[in-house]
Amino acid sequence: MARVLVTGATGFVGSHLVRAALKRGDQVVALTRPSSSVAKISDIAGDVALERAEFTDADALRAVLDRHKPDLIFHSAAATRLPANETLTDVRDSMTENLSPVLGVLTAAATCKSPPRALIRLGTIAEYGDCPVPYAESSNACPRDSYGASMLAGTKYLEMLRPRLPFAAMTARLSLTYGPGQTGAQLVPYLIDRLMSGKTAQIGRPDDARDFLHVDDAVRALLLLGDAPDPEIPVVNISTGIPTRVRDVVAMLADLTGARPDQVQLGTAGAAIDLVNDPALITSRYSWAPQISIADGLKQTVAWVRKSKQLAIVTGQDA
């Protein structure tokens, strides 16, 4: 049993990490921003220690760490939706939301009374951008947007700081992660919501390929990294390595949801862009491989949405 602290614990991957750590018997601290909703972990609120702090406030974070003395920290907090605009506010926001929190968490963890034995930071496939696929950890990353650039900056800062930190630290670059509990504008929850609601789903780039990673597979890998961080590896991909066309995901979800043919509008925007990680490093160093196929994962996710909607009807809440 370990003492585990998860930042961004009320987000999609963070909430799954909290549940997985609890399931294996860990003592869990769920750390979230003061303004964040705790809806995703409300049913297990009595099983975790909930703390709120700004991730840029190293003093507040240090106080949390001094109270709980975690053995292991997962830093999963990040802002993924940063639309580009003419005033470049997306650049400023990406630094505030994604880079400064990394430095805040690292500073607090390195200077608290009992530093953790390991810190695993969640990175993203978006860091790679315009370089040949499948992306390897040694690729010359060239991100396409402020989100990818800010996350890459966090990766580089962590890699630079590793020799100076009193704990092991790694960045895990997740490919496109999906599964039960995911909401918002990401591809899979967007499609399920539109198709199940009888609304039109518009897909501008159906021929793009993505590396779809089920959240349960992602969490298994993250826990393995946390239990045995490799001092020789600053960055590791967590992915299936399997490209799946967006149009194929649309077809699978249309079938699973019973959508009408006219609910899907496919665009023809430009040449296809593939985003696929190479998982060779993690599969060679750890006893891990993805176990959930895209077909099974989508089926499970749709079933979760249906159950959630039925529960919302029974309880009189919004789905």
**162-180 pLDDT, tens per residue?**
999 999 999 999 999 999 9
* Pairing label, strands 49-52, 201-203: unpaired
Q: Looking at residue 167, what DSSP letter applies?
A: S
pLDDT, tens digit, 9 for 90 and up, residues 191-228: 999 999 999 999 999 999 999 999 999 999 999 999 99
CATH topology for 3-182+212-241+275-292? Rossmann fold (3.40.50)
pLDDT for 81: 82
Dist. CA 229–CA 232, nearest whole Å? 9
Determine the Cα–Cα distance for residues 217 and 46; give it in Å rounded to an integer: 26
pLDDT value at residue 79: 87
Measured between alpha carbons, how far is 221 from 11 in angstroms, rounded to an integer?
A: 18
pLDDT at res. 196: 96
pLDDT at 197: 95
- Range 11-40 average pLDDT: 96
Q: Is the pLDDT of residue 319 over 90?
A: no
Q: What is the pLDDT of residues 226-255, one digit of tens each?
A: 999 999 999 999 999 999 999 999 999 999
What is the CA 96 to chain-centroid distance, rounded?
18
Q: Which of these ranges, 42-56, 209-223, 299-313, has the smallest mean pLDDT? A: 299-313
* 271 band by pLDDT with thresholds 50, 70 and 90: confident
Q: Across residues 290-315, what is the average pLDDT?
A: 90
Give yes or no for residue 316 having a pLDDT over 70: no
pLDDT given for residue 314 in this prediction: 61
Rounded to an integer, the average pLDDT of 57-79 is: 97
Looking at every residue in the chain, the average pLDDT score rounds to 95
Read off the pLDDT of each residue in 270-274 and give the average, rounded to a whole number.
88
User: Torsions phi, psi of 269, nearest 5?
Assistant: -75, 105
Residue range 67-82: mean pLDDT, rounded: 94
- Which of 80-84, 100-104, 259-263, 301-305 shows the lowest mean pLDDT across its residues? 80-84
265 phi/psi in degrees, rounded to 5? -120, 115
Q: What is the pLDDT of residue 276?
A: 98
* Overall average pLDDT of the 153-158 stretch: 98
Which residues on adjacent β-strands are paired with residue 120?
Answer: 74, 170
Residue-level pLDDT at 299:
98
Q: Quote the pLDDT of residue 111.
A: 98
Predicted structure pTM score: 0.95
